[in-house]
């Protein structure tokens, strides 16, 4: 890229070649300084710690520091520069990049994009220059600086920042492999979300291509930078829809210098259970009414005492009457979680026995009370009145015993709903039960009722519209003392329980006070493609605003009708055309058609990978089952047989909306069957 083409606003007298050469020298100096910082971190020893445990902790911290200082040669160390007019202790010129870099004299060479002073790079405008006289953006190819452009802010005309060709080209740059970070292209409305306070739960409704996933990841990186000590103790968790999605986003946080973030799925949190289930049953199990039903089911295991406690010590016998045992049980029930309540009952009964001992002139101590609490007479009362149970035992009884379900449900479920939940042929025991994905959330709810679930500092939840209320409750428990970033698109809901309201999602998370914000301006999906997919919105999510794209994308959409039996050949033709362009290619088809299409491409000599639930694959050309496409992006997308994608599941139109919005550069729709009616009017002619 010639520097002068991308630098229309160089100051009078500045030679663009000289400016570019100077910035390249600064880049080389910064890379050398980063290597020195990493070598210094690697040279540090954990031997200074006083004991073995401290040594292990310090060694882990040092290794984490070394990993965070790794250079990524294909990514720029800095992507912008700010010339400042503020009279303060900060440098007048700062380079903004992915991490802080300083030289041996502690002079900053690159300022972390998350630092407060760096906010001006994303937010400054002619109307509000924020003490910035000039903002410079850099163009890169791999890790090499190739161009720059300047924007003068103080004294400039207009309210909005000038259009940036470098920014546009970075957004449109073809990608291969995992997701890229967007740190160089963050827009002001995205930056507001990224830098929201740690204590605030933010819910982002984001249309396709608005960068909501990347915004959530960058908020995690920002919070870790700003609240390092607190979040190092409490932790940060990223929750994605599947393992393939997590693999796709895996490189973003390390590229930003953050390596200690747990990434998992809802199944990874509540349990990997996948037995098949009727969608209607699954939806009912995900209903928030189940929370109260499960609580009653658990506490119905606590029964009214019919006998007291008789404790023998030597020749002495000490009795606690049955009415006193009933009073103790009544005072504990409902005031604590189940398991701590059981332990407290044992101690209360033991204390009552000790009172009898003291009344006879004895002087028992705490050791005696603990011995009484563990004694057979007390244990017999515990097992009869407050038995030890597991989540699996409680749920097994609830789903296999119609009478017990009726007692637990009371008026919360209709008779037909109770019949739907009850197993027609129950397993022999809870140990042989095959649990479903919906059961996993119920088991997690019961586990929290028995023992309190630990909380972490911050949770980022992507594709949250697809989570059931009971799954959302499971996530809410894990940030009950922290906060969350909730990401999704109501139009892309594809599960039987997909939500229609973000306020309902926040309620189920236990975060009613959270803020809901909407991103409607897209940067990634071409306008022609987005407008085509948006024809489905009146049927999928009529309450949402129609998304807009900044990129016209003329010629980015092609819809092709194939003759009966000629579909594989039409797909092969589209694939060969896409291979002639730069960038990644995703062939998205109905799940049931993947094997046959893959075989056809193999026969045609087209090397490719097949996306599975656990990885994104390593191939430039990938076959993608429609059910795994959510959250992924490819430069060129070929969608095969939309009608079959729609017919494959109850919310098929929503699935098709997801599939049609995965393209960053071109979308080719290949079909032999009729297109869904909403897509037909005004669609481009077959080519």
Burial class from Cβ neighbours inside 10 Å (0-12, 13-18, 19+) for residue 117 reads buried
CA torsion sign, 569 to 571 to 577 to 579?
Answer: negative
Q: How many other C-beta atoms can be found within 10 angstroms of the C-beta atom of residue 21?
A: 12
- Got the DSSP string for 472-509? HHHHHHTTTTSEEEEEE-GGG--STT--S-HHHHHHHH
Helix (H, G, I), strand (E, B) or coil at 587: strand
CA atoms of 136 and 23, how far apart (whole Å): 11
359-368 as b/e: b if 16+ CB within 10 A: eeeeebeeeb
Residues 358, 562: Cα–Cα separation, whole Å: 92
Please tell me whether 210 is known to bind a ligand: yes
CA 462 to chain centre: 4
| Distance between CA atoms of residues 538 and 646, nearest Å | 16
Q: SS3 of 591, please? A: helix
Q: Is position 207 annotated in a ligand binding site?
A: yes
Classify each residue of 628-640 as buried b or exposed e, where b means 16 or more C-beta atoms within 10 Å of its C-beta. Answer: bbbbbbbbbbbbb
Does the annotation flag 211 for ligand binding? Answer: yes
Question: What dihedral angle (degrees, nearest 10) is formed by the CA atoms of 56, 59, 60, 61?
Answer: 130
DSSP 311-361: EEETTEEEEE-HHHHHHHHHHHTTSS-HHHHHHHHHHHHHHHHHHHHHHTT
Assign 630 to helix, strand or coil. coil
- Report whether 37 contacts 68 (CB < 8 A): no
Phi, psi (rounded to 5 degrees) for 656: -65, -40
Per the annotation, does 212 bind a ligand? yes
Quote the Cα angle for 194-209-626, to 5°. 120
Determine if residue 208 is labeled as part of a ligand binding site.
Answer: yes
Annotated binding site: 206-213
Annotated binding site for ATP: 206-213
């Amino acid at each position: 890229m010639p520097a002068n083409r991308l630098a229309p606003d160089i100051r009078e007298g500045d030679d663009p070649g000289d400016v570019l050469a100077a910035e390249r020298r600064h880049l080389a100096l910064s890379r050398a300084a980063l290597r020195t910082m990493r070598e210094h971190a690697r040279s540090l020893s954990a031997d200074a710690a006083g004991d073995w445990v401290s040594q292990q902790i310090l060694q882990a911290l040092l290794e984490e520091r070394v990993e965070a200082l790794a250079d990524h040669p294909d990514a720029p160390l800095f992507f912008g520069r700010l010339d400042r007019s503020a009279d303060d202790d900060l440098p007048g010129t700062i380079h903004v990049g992915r991490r802080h870099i300083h030289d041996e004299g502690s002079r900053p060479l690159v300022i972390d994009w998350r630092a407060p002073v760096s906010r001006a790079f994303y937010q400054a405008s002619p109307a509000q220059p924020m003490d910035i006289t000039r903002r410079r953006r850099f163009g890169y190819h791999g890790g090499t600086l190739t161009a720059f452009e300047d924007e003068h802010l103080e004294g400039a005309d207009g309210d909005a920042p000038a259009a940036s060709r470098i920014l546009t080209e970075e957004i449109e740059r073809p990608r291969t492999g995992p997701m890229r970070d967007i740190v160089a292209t963050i827009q002001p409305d995205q930056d507001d979300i990224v830098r929201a306070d740690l204590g605030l739960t933010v819910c982002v409704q984001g249309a396709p291509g608005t960068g909501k996933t990347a915004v959530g990841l960058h908020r995690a990186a920002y919070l870790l930078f700003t609240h390092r000590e607190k979040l190092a103790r409490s932790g940060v968790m990223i929750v994605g829809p599947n393992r393939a999605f997590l693999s796709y986003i895996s490189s973003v946080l390390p590229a930003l210098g953050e390596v200690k973030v747990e990434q998992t799925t809802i199944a990874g949190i509540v349990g990997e259970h996948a037995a098949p289930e009727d969608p209607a049953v699954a939806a009912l199990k995900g209903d928030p009414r189940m929370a109260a039903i499960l609580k009653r089911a658990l506490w119905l295991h606590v029964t009214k005492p019919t006998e007291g406690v008789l404790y023998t010590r030597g020749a002495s016998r000490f009795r606690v009457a049955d009415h006193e045992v009933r009073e103790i049980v009544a005072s504990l029930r409902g005031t604590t979680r189940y398991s701590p309540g059981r332990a407290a009952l044992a101690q209360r009964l033991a204390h009552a026995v000790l009172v009898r001992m003291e009344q006879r002139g004895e002087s028992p101590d705490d050791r005696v009370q603990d011995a009484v609490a563990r004694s057979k007479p007390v244990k017999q009362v515990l097992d009869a009145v407050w038995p030890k149970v597991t989540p699996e035992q409680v749920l097994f009884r609830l789903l296999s015993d119609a009478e017990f379900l009726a007692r637990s449900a009371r008026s919360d479920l209709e008779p037909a709903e109770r019949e739907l939940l009850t197993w027609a042929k129950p397993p022999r025991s809870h140990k042989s039960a095959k649990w479903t994905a919906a059961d996993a959330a119920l088991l997690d709810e019961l586990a929290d009722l028995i023992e309190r679930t630990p909380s972490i500092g911050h949770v980022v939840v992507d594709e949250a519209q697809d989570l059931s209320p009971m799954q959302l409750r499971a996530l809410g428990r894990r940030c009950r003392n922290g906060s969350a970033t909730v990401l999704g698109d109501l139009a892309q809901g594809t599960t039987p329980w997909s939500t229609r309201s973000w306020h309902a999602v926040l309620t189920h998370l236990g975060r009613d006070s959270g803020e809901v914000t909407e991103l409607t301006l897209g940067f990634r999906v071409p306008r022609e493609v987005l407008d085509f997919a948006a024809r489905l919105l009146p049927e999928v999510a009529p309450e949402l605003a129609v998304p807009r794209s900044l990129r016209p994308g003329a010629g980015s959409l092609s819809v092709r009708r194939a003759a009966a039996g000629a579909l594989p050949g039409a797909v092969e033709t589209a694939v060969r055309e896409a291979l002639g362009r730069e960038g990644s290619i995703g062939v998205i088809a109905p799940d049931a058609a993947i094997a046959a299409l893959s075989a056809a491409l193999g026969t045609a000599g087209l090397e490719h990978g097949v996306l599975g639930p656990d990885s994104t694959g390593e191939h430039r050309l990938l076959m993608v089952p429609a059910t795994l496409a959510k959250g992924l992006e490819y430069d060129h997308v070929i969608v095969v047989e939309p009608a079959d994608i729609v017919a494959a599941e109850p919310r098929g139109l929503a699935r098709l909306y997801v599939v049609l919005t995965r393209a960053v550069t071109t979308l080719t729709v290949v079909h032999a069957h009729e297109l869904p009616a909403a897509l037909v009017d005004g669609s481009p002619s077959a080519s």
